[in-house]
Amino acid sequence: MSNILNTLMQSDRIWQGRRHRQSTQPAEPTGYQVLDNQLGGIGWPRGALSECLLDASGIGELHLLLPLIKKLTGNGRTVFWLNPPHTPYAPALAREGVDLDQIVVIHTRDQGDFLWTLENCLRSPVTGLVMAWPGKLMSRDIRRLQLAAEAGSNVCVLFRERRFADQNSPAALRLDLEPDQHQNLNINIIKRRGSWPGQHCSLTMKHRADLSFCESPRVVQGPWPDSRR
């Protein structure tokens, strides 16, 4: 029994109050050193869900993922955008060094299509990153997606409304995003694997390009046949 307890205590999934443990789980750097420092030098976890909680789109949340998008597409990995509120602007992405051949935008008809599509994107061997805008999710749905993320060992970021901050979530990382009057993006860490929350930082977004609107390289439109589920 003691061996089992020792194994559990060594796991990054066990929160141990104020005792901090350096996470050994695989992750991708965010591309922002100040944020990585607040995340214990780790970044976006792979094989787990991350949540970005915000009140409205267009506050700089896409630029938060831009370094990772650029890196993954440059390495030949596919980046999926699932139900984004606006169509990505391909010329701006290209100017930032993103390989547009690795960008796929998917729109689904209903929640069933959304969950099926997200699970399959997460499990696909070609996937590097999945960004999804799910709206309301039940706790059981999040657990289902967490299992798919673990199976694919990819990065998955869910953009959700801040009102869901109090919802119980198995996500390994939860960030609260809020802009200020100086065009900075304030980031508060409300949950992170292997340590306690409460860290915060601010990223300047004064010179960000508009990455939304207009045409995108590839758009896939649901619904999907029932036989695929």
**What is the per-residue pLDDT for 207?**
56
**Overall residue count recorded for the chain in this entry:** 229
Which residues form the domain of 210? Answer: 32-222
Strands 219-221 and 173-179: unpaired
**What is the per-residue pLDDT for 8?**
42
Gap between the terminal Cα atoms of the chain? 41
Residue 151 counted as domain residue:
yes
Where residue 144 falls (left for φ over 0; alpha for ψ -120 to 50; beta otherwise) is alpha
Rounded CA-CA distance 64/68 in Å is: 8
Q: Retrieve residue 157's tokens.
A: 């970021």
**What is the per-residue pLDDT for 167?**
83
Residue 197 counted as domain residue:
yes
Digit-by-digit pLDDT tens for the chain (229 residues) are 555 545 544 444 444 444 444 556 789 999 999 999 888 878 999 999 999 999 988 888 999 999 999 999 999 999 999 999 988 888 889 999 999 999 999 999 899 999 999 999 999 999 999 999 998 888 888 888 989 999 988 999 999 999 988 888 889 999 999 998 878 899 999 998 766 667 888 888 755 656 664 444 444 444 545 544 4
Rounded CA-CA distance 126/206 in Å is: 34
Rounded CA-CA distance 122/157 in Å is: 11
Q: Count structural domains, the chain.
A: 1
Residue 11 counted as domain residue:
no
Residue 14 counted as domain residue:
no
Residue 138 counted as domain residue:
yes
Q: Which helix (H) or strand (E) holds 158?
A: strand 155-161
User: Residue 87 is part of a domain; what is its CATH number?
Assistant: 3.40.50.300
**What is the per-residue pLDDT for 210?**
60
Rounded CA-CA distance 228/158 in Å is: 23
**What is the per-residue pLDDT for 55?**
93
Residue 146 counted as domain residue:
yes
Residue 20 counted as domain residue:
no
**What is the per-residue pLDDT for 24?**
60
Residue 62 counted as domain residue:
yes
Residues 171, 173, 174, 178, CA torsion sign: negative
**What is the per-residue pLDDT for 168?**
82
Rg of the Cα trace of the chain? 17
Please tell me the pTM assigned to this model.
0.81
If one counts every other C-beta atom within 10 angstroms of the C-beta of residue 193, the result is 22
**What is the per-residue pLDDT for 9?**
44
